[in-house]
Structure 1
Amino acid sequence: MMGLRGINRIVIAVRNLEAAKKLYADMLGATFHDAHWTGAPFGIHVSIAWDAGIELCAPMPGREHDSAVSQFLAHKGEGIVTVFFGVDDADVAVSRAISAGYACFHSLDYSQDEMDQHLGGRFCRYQESYVSSADRCGFGVALARIDRKPG
């Protein structure tokens, strides 16, 4: 059994990262942590509010037309691009999605050093896989096993 944990976070594509961080911080009291290193290969800047379950992503300067969120922003405007669902076993969850006809197009499994260096030492396990779901669901789905360090 996959062990579904519910929604881990939503990813919102925005045009102006600083303005969006201020909007959600003011509205919700969310605390954002920049994670640009995760988005750089995709031409995006990333900031995550773990306390609110929100990840914001915006095209990097000069990448407004060819980043991972450029087409979404051009066609739909700002909004939810991906929903991360927490799971107990990422491998089982990905296998289930594949057997249901969804392709997995990107996966990662961070080492403890990467988690400590880039994610503030919050986690002891961080795996995620993106599933090709936008055409059927209207948004992307990611399956994530993210375990916080005890304490």
Structure 2
Amino acid sequence: MIKGLYEAHLPVSNLENSIEFYKKLDLEMAYRQENLVFFWIDKGRSWLGLWETDKVHTPYHPSIRHVALQIDAEDMTNIKGWLEERGIAVSTNFGFPPEKQPLILPNNPHAHAAIYFKDPDGNSIELIAPLRLDFQEEFKMMTLEEWEQKNKNVK
């Protein structure tokens, strides 16, 4: 019955600034009202709503001010440069500074590559790519470079 996640929402302080930021991520605007804009994540399948509101001052917690957007695993190798070209700084997460990202999340039994940055209001944005699902080997968090070295002969 459930086919996927259709929408997620984030609070923002200035809709115009946020529109410019999310356009840098190559997202297409789908709908706009006075204090709300939706951007397509996957046109016709999922979108992100940005609300101009004073709720933007709610302290950050990943359960309320975090969105993870899926990208292809092949794009993860060049994602940091793609963000830098757009003037978007990678943020430190899980003790991994920007120069050590993308990182590999040991969501055992799964493995995901991820990189993190913040929008103009400090909302956490994650770009994530599944690498292995139902992976039996336990491992610790590492850089993408370490993962590729460790798994270079594994398909």
TM-score category by the smaller chain? Answer: 0.3 to 0.5
Task: Tell which has more relative contact order, 1 or 2 (C-alpha 8 A, sep 6+).
Answer: 1
Q: Please give the TM-score of this superposition, normalised by the length of structure 2.
A: 0.35
Greater Rg over alpha carbons, structure? 2
Q: Please give the TM-score of this superposition, normalised by the length of structure 1.
A: 0.36
Structure (1/2) with the larger strand percentage: 1
